[in-house]
């Protein structure tokens, strides 16, 4: 480790101009590996298993991001846990990316304290001391991210300032470059895709254009698939893409920093997201998330030369605030191969891909009917006559992992399909051989049925239906009827929606070659009418599973509580599922909640929320259900609340809970809370809604 140089603020411009041309040093690994993990816990007994899981996922030369917080002018060295964690990353042949941060105060992050306006010398020196005291490895970079999302008020003492952050970044960059070690590479604190904030930084503090080596960015695609992107000019909304960072790179190019390398220090898909449902893109569930993130990594990010590393948020959410994003369940163990024993599907898909430094390769692609492009789901495939066998997922994906380099054949094990001229795959170490395989049915299948109102059983016309995985859409006819002809044999998911009603979703609809299958969907009316539609995601609890029945919702502590919160498939108001709260025998209160998108509420507007609720098996004959509607700031601060409660005593009878609230000043979001209170029994919620009152 080289001795640190003295930090002199007067030398800032000299250091910037002399260092900016230096490229990140080349790691000792044979090939660049862009796969990354975000965030690892910093200390504690579990850090070893987290490091093991991370390496199993990203492989040699992969990247690991960590948060080191609490840095201020009084900091003189790194904490012992920080040193151990960085060394542990190096020991496993991975590359550390460190997000440095200050203190988290009441309601948000506290901005760094300036010595004088525009002078952050003391905090910059503290950052220098932290980085100087961390381990380094020969020919391997140490990436340092200077704070996080400074364009958000929440991250900068309640008032974001492009000028202040730019001044801070300049001083920290100079301090780190004064260490004289070109392995240390500096990233800006990535913005939440805010090109105007970036432009303001460069205009107000021109030196900030040269105050980073690599650009950090947070492009979240919401529920857009990876093929919806800026590179391919397929994006109507470029800020909702996997390459939204290009909006910021355009500003860098205008400002004299073309061809800057990028680290996507946050991205990913959250369960339940349906931001762009109006464009026809479906809600993110486990299977769709795994498909999207796998193809984003395999087919796009790893192919774009400007991308150094990608860190999907969040690896393992022990605190419980971001469960919808996580890759590994916090209570997971580790198996004999280094895999977490309790993991989300996206972990499996990425772990099975070949990484650039692997001694083996991978084979993947989709099974498709070549004319209609329908994917064939639930089909068994064999590699080299049985060396490996896989079953295609609902999108027709297949993944064969850890294959020795050479020529390999994939064969079909399905009596209902015919393989069309499949050529062998040539596999190379560290690479994924990707090809779609064409199949034709021996005979087409057909799916038909009707859409009806749940309570009255009357047919519902003009309901919107979408069939997955092939993506066909239809409207139900005057008698609620629909038909999807010419389907491949396999498994399908059918979803229906209609304004004023909760959604319905049937999964696992299996059809065989030449078969005619019937399916029926029953929609439950919402408890009230709204202007502009329902702002809630997964409002009917249709999306989910026995393992995670509250996709897009959360308990108060962020934990799943499977003994209490369960998927209900018998007592439902509409669709095929509802949320059940199984109350313990001792009197207790349980709540789930959901917040609407940022800036979805405006002061002075009247909002309403509603839910249907029913009860069963009440030992005392009664319980209490409640709905609450809160107005929040974007930072989560409550600024107003109203609630409505009801006593439940009649088993199985549905009743509506409705509450209204005029949004007070500073309102930016809505929060809806569903609560059950009692001693034993089953309380069921279904077909919820929230939005502007009609």
Ordered DSSP codes for 215-277: EEE----TT--TTSSTTTT--SSGGGSTTTHHHHHHHHHHTT-TT--EEEEEE---TT--TTG
Two tokens, residue 608: 């309403």
Residue 480 has pLDDT above 70, yes or no: yes
CB 590 within 8 A of CB 650: no
CATH architecture classification, 9-352:
Alpha-Beta Barrel (3.20)
Least confident of 19-33, 224-238, 661-675: 19-33
SS3 annotation, 601-657: CCCCCEEEEEEEEEEECCCCCCEEEEEEEEEECCCCCEEEEEEEEEEECCECCCEEE
CA dist 268 and 255 (Å) reads: 29
From residue 154, alpha-carbon distances to 106, 172, 633 in Å are 10, 21, 10
CA dist 412 and 433 (Å) reads: 18
Query: Which residue bears the tokens 């369940």?
Result: 329
Beta strand pairing status for 669-678 and 623-632?
antiparallel
pLDDT value, residue 6: 35
CA dist 682 and 574 (Å) reads: 18
**134: confidence class by pLDDT, cuts 50, 70, 90:** very high
Q: What number of other Cβ atoms are within 10 A of residue 445's Cβ?
A: 22
Residue 607 has pLDDT above 60, yes or no: yes
CB 38 within 8 A of CB 9: no
- Comparing 336 with 471, which gets the higher pLDDT? 336
pLDDT value, residue 661: 94
Q: Average pLDDT for residues 65-69, to the nearest whole number?
A: 97
Residue 557 has pLDDT above 90, yes or no: no
Q: For 529-540, what is each residue's pLDDT tens digit?
A: 999 889 998 999
pLDDT value, residue 21: 39
CB 496 within 8 A of CB 449: no
Residue 19 has pLDDT above 70, yes or no: no
367: Cβ contacts below 8 Å, ≥ 6 apart = 375, 376, 379, 381, 392, 396, 398, 436, 437, 439
DSSP string, 441-494: ESS-EEEEEEEEETTT--B-TT-EEEEETT--EEE--TTSEEEEEEE-SEEEEE
The mean pLDDT value of the chain amounts to 91
Q: Which of 60, 48, 78 is nearest to 140 (CA)?
A: 60
Two tokens, residue 165: 């952050």
Residue 22 has pLDDT above 90, yes or no: no
665: Cβ contacts below 8 Å, ≥ 6 apart = 603, 639
pLDDT value, residue 133: 98
CA dist 158 and 598 (Å) reads: 16
Residue 204 has pLDDT above 80, yes or no: yes
Identify the sign of the CA torsion 612, 618, 624, 627: negative
- 445-523 matches 361-439 in CATH topology: yes
pLDDT value, residue 7: 35
DSSP string, 549-589: TTTT-EETTS---TTTEEEESSS-SSTT-EEEEE--SS-EE
pLDDT value, residue 668: 94
Domain ranges of the chain: 9-352, 361-439, 445-523, 530-693
Cis bond upstream, residue 390 (ω within 30): no
Q: Which of 94, 79, 184, 169 is nearest to 133 (CA)?
A: 79
Q: Average pLDDT for residues 503-525, to the nearest whole number?
A: 92
pLDDT value, residue 17: 43
Find the helix or strand (DSSP H, E) in which 407 lies.
Answer: strand 406-408
Side-chain-side CA neighbours of residue 265 (13 Å): 29
Q: At the topology level of CATH, where does 361-439 sit?
A: Immunoglobulin-like (2.60.40)
Q: Average pLDDT for residues 257-278, to the nearest whole number?
A: 93
Side-chain-side CA neighbours of residue 144 (13 Å): 29
Query: Which residue bears the tokens 């995670």?
Result: 548
Two tokens, residue 546: 């026995």
- Length in residues, the chain: 694
Residue 618 has pLDDT above 80, yes or no: no
CA dist 609 and 156 (Å) reads: 33
Give 306's DSSP letter.
T
pLDDT value, residue 691: 95
CA dist 670 and 537 (Å) reads: 12
CATH architecture classification, 445-523:
Sandwich (2.60)
CA dist 184 and 179 (Å) reads: 9
* H-state helical runs in 29-120: 47-58, 80-91
72: Cβ contacts below 8 Å, ≥ 6 apart = 102, 103, 112, 113, 123, 126
pLDDT value, residue 584: 87
pLDDT value, residue 649: 67
Least confident of 118-122, 463-467, 548-552, 570-574: 548-552
Q: Which CATH class is domain 530-693?
A: mainly beta
Residue 5 has pLDDT above 60, yes or no: no
pLDDT value, residue 192: 85
CA dist 316 and 639 (Å) reads: 31
Torsion of CA 550, 552, 555, 557, to 10 degrees: 130
* Paired strand residues for 91: none
**599: confidence class by pLDDT, cuts 50, 70, 90:** confident
């Amino acid at each position: 480790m080289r001795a640190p140089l003295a930090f002199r603020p007067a030398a800032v411009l000299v250091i910037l101009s002399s260092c900016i041309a230096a490229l990140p040093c080349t790691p000792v690994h044979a090939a660049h590996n862009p796969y990354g993990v975000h965030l690892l816990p910093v200390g504690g007994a579990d850090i070893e298993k987290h490091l093991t899981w991370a390496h199993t996922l990203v492989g040699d030369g992969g990247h690991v991001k960590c948060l080191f917080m609490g840095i201020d002018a009084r900091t003189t060295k790194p904490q012992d846990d920080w040193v151990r964690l960085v060394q542990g990353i190096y020991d496993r042949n991975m590359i550390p990316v460190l997000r440095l941060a200050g203190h988290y105060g009441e309601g948000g992050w506290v901005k760094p304290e300036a010595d004088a306006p525009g002078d952050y010398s003391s905090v910059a020196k503290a950052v220098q001391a932290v980085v100087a005291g961390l381990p380094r490895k020969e020919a391997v970079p140490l990436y340092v991210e200077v704070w996080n999302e400074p364009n958000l008020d929440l991250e900068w003492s309640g008032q974001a300032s492009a000028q202040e952050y730019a001044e801070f970044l300049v001083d920290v960059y100079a301090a780190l470059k004064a260490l004289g070690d070109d392995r240390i590479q500096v990233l800006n604190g990535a913005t939440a895709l805010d090109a105007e904030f970036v432009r303001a930084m460069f205009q107000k503090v021109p030196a900030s254009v040269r105050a980073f080596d690599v650009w950090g960015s947070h492009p979240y695609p919401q529920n857009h698939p990876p093929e919806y992107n800026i590179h391919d000019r397929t994006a109507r909304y470029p800020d909702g893409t996997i390459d939204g960072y290009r909006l910021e790179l355009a500003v860098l190019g205008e400002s004299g920093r073309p061809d800057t390398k990028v680290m996507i220090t946050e991205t990913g898909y959250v369960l339940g997201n349906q931001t762009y449902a109006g464009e026809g893109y479906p809600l993110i569930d486990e299977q769709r998330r795994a498909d999207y993130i796998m193809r984003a990594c395999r087919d796009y990010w790893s192919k774009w030369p400007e991308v150094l590393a990608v860190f999907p948020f969040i690896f393992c959410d022990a605190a419980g605030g971001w469960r919808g994003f996580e890759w590994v369940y916090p209570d997971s163990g580790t198996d004999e191969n280094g895999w977490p024993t309790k993991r989300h599907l996206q972990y499996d898909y990425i772990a099975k891909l070949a990484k650039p430094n692997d001694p083996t390769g991978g084979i993947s692609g989709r099974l498709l009917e070549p004319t209609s492009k329908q994917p064939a789901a639930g089909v068994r495939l064999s590699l080299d006559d049985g060396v490996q066998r896989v079953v295609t997922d609902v999108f027709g994906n297949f993944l064969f992992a850890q294959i020795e380099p050479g020529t390999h054949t994939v064969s079909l094990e399905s009596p209902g399909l015919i393989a069309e001229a499949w050529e062998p795959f040539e596999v190379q170490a560290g690479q994924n051989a990707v090809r779609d395989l064409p199949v034709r049915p021996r005979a087409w299948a057909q799916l038909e049925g009707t859409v009806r109102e749940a309570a009255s059983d009357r047919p519902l016309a003009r309901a919107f239906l979408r069939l997955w995985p092939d993506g066909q859409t239809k409207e139900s006819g005057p008698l609620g009827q629909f038909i999807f002809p010419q389907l491949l044999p396999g498994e399908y998911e059918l979803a229906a929606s209609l304004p004023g009603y909760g959604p319905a979703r049937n999964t696992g609809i299996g059809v065989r070659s030449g078969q005619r299958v019937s399916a029926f969907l029953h929609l439950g009316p919402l408890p009230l009418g709204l202007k502009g539609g329902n702002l809630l995601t997964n409002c009917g609890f249709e999306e989910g599973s026995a393992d995670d029945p509250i996709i897009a919702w959360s308990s108060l502590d962020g934990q799943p509580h499977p003994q209490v919160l369960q998927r209900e498939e018998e007592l439902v108001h509409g669709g095929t599922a509802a949320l059940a709260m199984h109350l313990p025998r001792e009197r207790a209160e349980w709540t789930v909640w959901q917040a609407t998108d940022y800036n979805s509420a405006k002061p002075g507007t009247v909002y309403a929320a509603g839910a249907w609720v029913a009860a069963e098996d009440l030992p005392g004959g009664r319980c209490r259900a409640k709905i609450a509607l809160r107005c929040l700031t974007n930072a989560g601060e409550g600024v107003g609340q109203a609630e409505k409660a009801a006593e439940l005593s009649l088993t199985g009878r549905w009743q509506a809970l409705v509450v209204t609230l005029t949004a007070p000043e500073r309102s930016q979001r809505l929060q809806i809370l569903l609560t059950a209170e009692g001693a034993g029994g089953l309380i069921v919620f279904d077909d919820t809604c929230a939005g502007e009152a009609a």
